[in-house]
Amino acid sequence: MSGVGGDVLERWNACGWYQTTAMQVLSADDTGARFRMEVGAGHLQAYGTAHGGSLAGLLDAAMGLAAIAQVDPDEGCATVEMKINYTAAVPPGEVFAEGTVITLGRRIVVARAEATLPTGRVAAVAMGTFTRFREQ
């Protein structure tokens, strides 16, 4: 089992978007990527629970890093598209996510991800398509 190095995790965790949405990679290896997000006042939509965009970002990231963990070290992955089903409202507090690769193609990676509340309830599920590219 090869893991994604601490330097990659640090680089991802340092991103503006991760700071803005209080999202954090916990670990990533060839079994998947695990994330945590702390939902606060800044995540809320008009009905008082986390905006779908915050969960879409979380699951996109979880799938993307699961893909990164399986491609060559000098490769990156870009999201071509994703789809997400919202299955439970997410109140302020912690939410967790795990992304896994379904198929690793030479050019295309397909992944899925799930967000869960601390109670274990599934809050959202996603499936996405990523392209592999060489980083300069």
Closer to a second copy at the Cβ: 34 or 97?
A: 97
Q: How far apart are CA 77 and CA 120, in angstroms?
A: 29
Q: How long a stretch of residues is the chain? A: 136
Q: Per-residue x/- marks for a second copy, 36-75, CB under 8 A?
A: ----xxxxxxxx--xxxxx-xxx-xx--------------
Residue 90 touches a second copy, criterion: CB under 8 A:
no
Interface with a second copy, residue 35, by CB under 8 A: no
User: What is the crossing angle of helices 52-68 and 6-13, to 10°?
Assistant: 160
Query: What gap in Å lies between CA 58 and CA 89, rounded to an integer?
Result: 15
> Out of 3, 5, 19, 26, which residue is the one contacting a second copy (CB under 8 A)?
19
Question: Distances from the Cα of 83 to the Cαs of 27, 56, 74, in angstroms?
Answer: 23, 8, 27
Q: Which residues bind a second copy (CB under 8 A)?
A: 11-12, 15-17, 19-21, 40-47, 50-54, 56-58, 60-61, 76, 78-88, 102-103, 105, 107-108, 110, 112, 122, 125, 127, 129, 131
